[in-house]
Amino acid sequence: MVGDFPLCLGPVIDLASIAYFDGDGESQTMDLSSVRIERRVLGAFACLKVGASWPDADPDAGPITVTWRAGYGDAAAVPAGIRHAIKLMVGHWFENREAVLVGVAANQLPLAVDALIAPHRKVL
């Protein structure tokens, strides 16, 4: 294993596990005490602590799987723009409860929803 692992979806709360296959093709789990989360401009990464090294993994035996928890932790930590977008969507759905409306012009989600969540959206 070489380099840092990008944790593509976030915000990252913590690492749960790093699993890999060793040279014998056996599934192994890495000790997370040698790994840290590094937050950079382009996102979060699983990185080695100073003096640590990645284990020898056999990429032909199977994937390296990095599992982490992501989210805001509690409702108070959710950015105001996302909370506002949620309220707009709930209001829209309250006013337009039916799956199909007969005799009514098509209704779209409020355009402000896209603008409010755009700064928090990550496209992979």
CA angle 119, 70, 59 (to 5 degrees): 110
Handedness of CA 38, 65, 74, 43 (dihedral sign): positive
Contact call for residues 1 and 64 (beta carbons, < 8 A) = yes
**What pTM, to 2 d.p., does this model score?**
0.69
Smallest Cα–Cα separation from 51: which of 36, 64, 37? 36
| 6: helix, strand or coil | strand
Q: What is the pLDDT along the chain (124 residues), one digit of tens a residue?
A: 568 889 988 899 999 999 999 888 889 999 999 999 999 888 899 999 998 988 888 878 888 899 999 999 888 999 999 999 999 889 888 887 777 666 666 656 667 888 888 888 877 6
